[in-house]
Structure 1
Amino acid sequence: MSEPNSTKTSSNGVAPLTPVLTRRWLSPESWGLRTYEQLEGYSALRKALGAHPDQLITLMKDSGLRGRGGAGFPTGMKWGFIPQGDGKPHYLVINADEGEPGTCKDVPLMMADPHSLIEGVVITSYAIRANFAAIYVRGEALHCIRRLTAAVNEAYRAGYLGKNILGSGFDLDVVVHAGAGAYICGEETALLDSLEGKRGQPRLKPPFPATAGLYSSPTVVNNVETIASVPYIVNGGSDWFRKMGRERSPGPKIYSLSGHVERPGQYEAPMGTTLRELLELAGGMKDGIPLKFWTPGGSSTPLFTAEHLDVPLDFEGAAEAGSMLGTTALQIFNETVSVPWAVMKWTEFYKHESCGKCTPCREGTYWLVQILQRMVRGEGLESDIETLLDVCDNILGRSFCALGDGAVSPITSAIKYFKQEFLDLCEKNRNGTAADPASPALAGAR
């Protein structure tokens, strides 16, 4: 695990950050209850239980905390959607099904500091009047599941979970649920169906989970990093939280850097930090080979190039530059990598992970893979580029959930910025001579 924090001053005016989410990561046995309690653990819970639940919802609204799972929806607003006095049970579900290619922030957080998530779960459940919470963890993350389960058991024994928590009269049971390795279950309604024992497929919305979620009851679904931020806000206050990051996207964020960097890993920095600054923390480009392209939020977000080094990586900054912040999974590629090859590999993933419920995604991703594979083999035609764009247009906005939109984003952005590389792959069929296998356009395919 790379050094998870930074105290450097940002060149774009972003304030330096004292570690928040990662402050315990390097402590001895940071995952244990003893270490957590020594470092202010569960102090926020005691404070929260002394407040009215509506005060906590207002606090989250005032803090400006936005969902860290990709969508960036205001957390306090989501909590406030839960109807009160409806006579139904309320549920909290934690989306820990981290499956986006390049994303690796939630699993390290749960491995290094699981009690910060558990404390956030208890506070959130109290705020929305839920007495049952489920943490849905990606099934392949076996060590994470074991560590989180052990932490939940510790919390039960210490009286932070179960009946009459800390003498407050509030009851909460928490279950750690292991998924079965389906990327689609990262979509909140597919996750809910999976929790109910059904096949993981997206539901038609509306109704939304806030009114008809788990077992058709009001449900809040939040990301791990979102809920792990809650105890710090309760202790520090909304004004403290807003001192970090930018006005419309406040707070700290864990950025995952992978690929061609000297020190890949997790880096906590204020929202709005740029890739240029993150590369400084990560030791720069590996072997000094220049940057060619990168993803700001995982493979389902439109690509950026070296021209986007100074884009503020928050929800507004990424969107204004033509992409999405997503899960802040920064996959970094140098000049040795073929863009069409990388796009093909991502598309193969989305084709494999499509749940098949809707035709545009099920059929569209299949044909996108066929065309891209043919092009990478050097058997493509120039007309294939327009065919790719046409298929993407028939998927975008027409699929049942966001998987279809995510599958076309790298393709359309790659053609926008690197169209010549796709044309180079068609050289063989343009003039009867094969493309040079040593050319940069084919380097990543070998």
Structure 2
Amino acid sequence: MHGSNPTDGPSSPPGPMGMHGVGVRTDPTRRNDPASGFDSGPLRPTDPSVRTDPAAMPVVPAVTPSPAPAPGYDAPARSHPDTVGEPAPRYEFLEHIGSGGMADVYRARDNELGRHVAVKLFRETDETVADQQRREREIKLLSGLTHVGLVPVHDAGRLIHAGIERRYLVMELVDGLSLAHRIAEGPVKPRQVADIGAQVADVLSYVHGRGVVHRDVKPENILVSEVPTFGYTLMTRLADFGVAQFVDGTRLTGHGTIMGTAAYISPEQARGEEVTAATDIYSLGLVLLEALKGEREYTGTPIEAALARLHRPPAIPDDLSPEWRSILGAMTADDPAVRPNAHDVASTMRDLIRLMILQTQVRKGRVPVWAKATGDAVAGADRRRRIAGIAGIVIGVIGVGIAIVVGIAASTGLIG
């Protein structure tokens, strides 16, 4: 109820004080019965409790009636049984949009803020203690991470769904499909693959810098929207940190337990060895290779897929450019120490993007302004020569590629 201050005008006629009644100022010559809410008649002068000073009399606060709905107002639907409190549910579930090993994800409407969100409901019926720890860790982990390439957390708590109390996590609803949906339609364009790779690598660089390893980088966990952003043709988000672990933290799985999706785990994961940030780089390399080829590299049963990488390296097609073959070979090296870190992968992907843009412009008879300073273009690539071993070749190959393209443009008169 919203009260209002009384005025000093004439007293209102006596009347009942209900939920939406009108407050009155007490008449000093009459008794007011607070139990019944009615004026019970004149006061007797002999009553010792009578106060004759009007200024000393208590004031009954007024109650403002609830305003009538404005014409055309459409109140949010409240018929769904799922609730986060009474009297009405905050989150109205609209449709089921996905499932994982530990939870189901729904599109829902936040009736409090009037927006659509993604609600992740954890399945707790068959949870072990380790499952509960992983669930709570994901919630706390995501709430402490802030990056444009992550799906932000809005809320968390418990609610009743289908008559069962469940733990929930509310996140931004990403308007787009997973990379898995795109790959199902065939190979993805190299420029788009580089855009996706650069953004995911940026996110991994951020989380790795905070001591977190994702451990389950796969197409289903990469969300892609048709929204050009920050110079990229697509907006990409990395989701689902359900099996993430802290690099220096306590293991929530027994030694030798494989966590992740079999088709994308690293050789060290398959062997049950210690997981590091290099694990995510290997998985991302397989994802990018799959996107370029349009088919998964390691197939079969989970056990077959997991063991296959221990017997053969990924088959990188010869028809891919030297730049792509170099970076993918570095990312999927068997030895974790040889793989580039996430920051260098992101830088290399951006160099690839520049090279592809330049190649396209030269074919069209145009050269971007930034490429006309040939020395600066090559030097910019050289300054990022930070990847050890095989990865060191990658930047060199890209730098040479830029120099060759610019040289061709100069010889044809495109660069004066």
Q: How does the TM-score come out when normalised to structure 1?
A: 0.32
Which structure dedicates a bigger proportion of its chain to strand? 2
Asked which structure has the greater RCO (Cα within 8 Å, sep 6+), the reply is 1
Which structure dedicates a bigger proportion of its chain to helix? 1
Q: How does the TM-score come out when normalised to structure 2?
A: 0.34
Compare CA radii of gyration and give the structure with the larger one: 2
